[in-house]
Structure 1
Amino acid sequence: MNIREVLALNLRKLRQVKGLSQEELAHRADIDRTYVSALERSVYAATIDVVDNLAQALGVEAADLLKRPSRSKSD
């Protein structure tokens, strides 16, 4: 899984856990809703500043958005 896919997975998961729409998250992070959508689909690579804005809007650390899922022993 590449880093764009990791960000996409974590971003979507955390956004949904927080009960936020893409539009609301975009507003809180001061970015465009279509950009949030593109990030969640691994279309764009986010800058570190965007990752930080998204993390702040979600109330998490930026590292949480870039953390790779743990692999099971069967992988």
Structure 2
Amino acid sequence: MNIKEKFGQKIKSLREQKGISIEHLANISNVDRNYISDIEKGKRNVSITIIEKLSKGLEVKVQELFNYEE
């Protein structure tokens, strides 16, 4: 599994733990829902700006987005 796939799984996991849809995360983080879907599938190389928006939308520290099993 590559880093994009690990990151995408972490985003999906956090989103599901909070019980929110991709659509809702898109609205609160100001990121297109299709873009979030692609991130969760490991298809996007995410910029630091998007990482910050997602961390705010998910209400976690940026570091938490990179806290996953190796």
Alignment TM-score, normalising by the size of structure 2: 0.92
Q: Any idea what the Cα deviations from partners look like across 1:41-68, whole Å, max 9, x if unmatched?
A: 0111110110111011101011111123
Residue in structure 1 matched with residue 47 of structure 2 by the alignment: 47
Specify the alignment match of 1:56 in structure 2. 56
Return 5+ residue gaps in structure 2 as ranges.
Answer: none
User: Cα RMSD over matched residues?
Assistant: 1.1
Cα distance in 1 between the residues matched to 2:67 and 2:58: 15
Paired residues of 1:3 and 1:66 also in contact (CA < 8 A): no
Where in structure 1 do 4 or more consecutive aligned residues deviate above 3 Å?
A: none
Deviations 1:8-41 (A, max 9, x none): 1110000000011000001111011000000000
In the TM superposition, what is the alpha-carbon distance from 1:2 to its structure 2 partner? 2.1
* Contact in 1 for aligned 2:22/2:33 (Cα 8 Å): yes
3-state SS in 2 of match to 1:44: coil
* Paired amino acid for 1:47: S
Aligned length: 70
Please report the TM-score for the alignment, with normalisation by the length of structure 1: 0.86
Residue of structure 1 in register with 2:29 after alignment: 29
Work out the percentage of aligned pairs sharing the same amino acid: 31
